Structure 1
């Protein structure tokens, strides 16, 4: 299940959807939030844009790559777009598997690839004004490690 949406999501609902599978021995989830500081600047909010259709296809490709690398039962990815305030949820990644190793690795892989390959554009609103964020070198390095495996 992949969704790109403006509305918030319910973590408990998403977890329950993953837990319905009796073969699941492990569920790993990640939730990203809008934080109040970035690069030494006080953040007031975040604005995310995307290219409809292309973004969903990119997310499907990332999830499919994870499913070919690890034995997964389910993957749920929700990414919000639009204007988000401090501490609002941005992204949810949930993965179920029979074993924790596959679930942990797949969740981390999906998140690393979301940060580097998914076509989202982020505008950060700070005390000093608004600016578009560039990709971080640390995100690229995190994604590169998966290419070495």
Structure 2
């Protein structure tokens, strides 16, 4: 499926929804699915003030593997970026876009890609909690 666009990246810069949409736009595709993960103000009942994402040195490679597998399974274009570094509540943490001729494969592929990214790509989140506590997620 090399004709469909494919992009993966880890970035310490703010993510762009417009870049994701343009990144999968393809004249052969009539459906684009988009998932946006934001930094929320709580986790497991604790108030979160900010967080930092740290990626394993192989994280970018594994992100590419996940994207390639999902793209091949569903014959879709994919665009995925995950932030690293310091983020505040409300910041974009991850953006996944998939494009297919029809909505069904685009929606299925988008869900699979974010689920596989969360399960297989070693990116850890250090959350700062109100009151000064810190919690690591994903270790």
Q: TM-score over 0.5 for the alignment?
A: yes
* Count of aligned positions: 132
Does the aligned pair in 1 maintain the 2:79–2:97 contact within 8 Å? yes
**Selected match of 1:5 from 11, 17, 21:** 11
CA distance in 2, matches of 1:108, 1:84: 23
Match of 1:100 among 99, 103, 114: 103
1:56 pairs with one of 57, 60, 78:
60
Q: Choose between structure 1 and 2: higher strand proportion.
A: 2
TM-score by length of 1: 0.84
* Aligned residue among 31, 34, 40 for 2:39: 34
- Structure 1 residue 68: Cα displacement: 2.3
Unaligned runs of 5+ residues in structure 2 are 1-6
Deviations along 1:14-65, whole A, 9 cap, x unmatched?
Answer: 212322x11011000111000001100010011110123x111101111111
Within 2, Cα distance between the matches of 1:18 and 1:109?
A: 16
The residue correspondences of 1:1-149 to structure 2 (distance < 5 A) are: 1-19=7-25, 21-52=26-57, 54-72=58-76, 74-128=77-131, 129-134=133-138
Return the alpha-carbon distance in structure 2 between the equivalents of residues 81 and 134 of structure 1: 14
Q: CA RMSD in A?
A: 1.2
TM (norm. structure 2) is 0.90
5+ residue gaps in structure 1? 136-149
Q: Deviations over 1:52-103 (max 9, x none)?
A: 3x1111011111111221121x210100000100000000101111111110
Report runs of 4+ in structure 1 exceeding 6 Å deviation: none
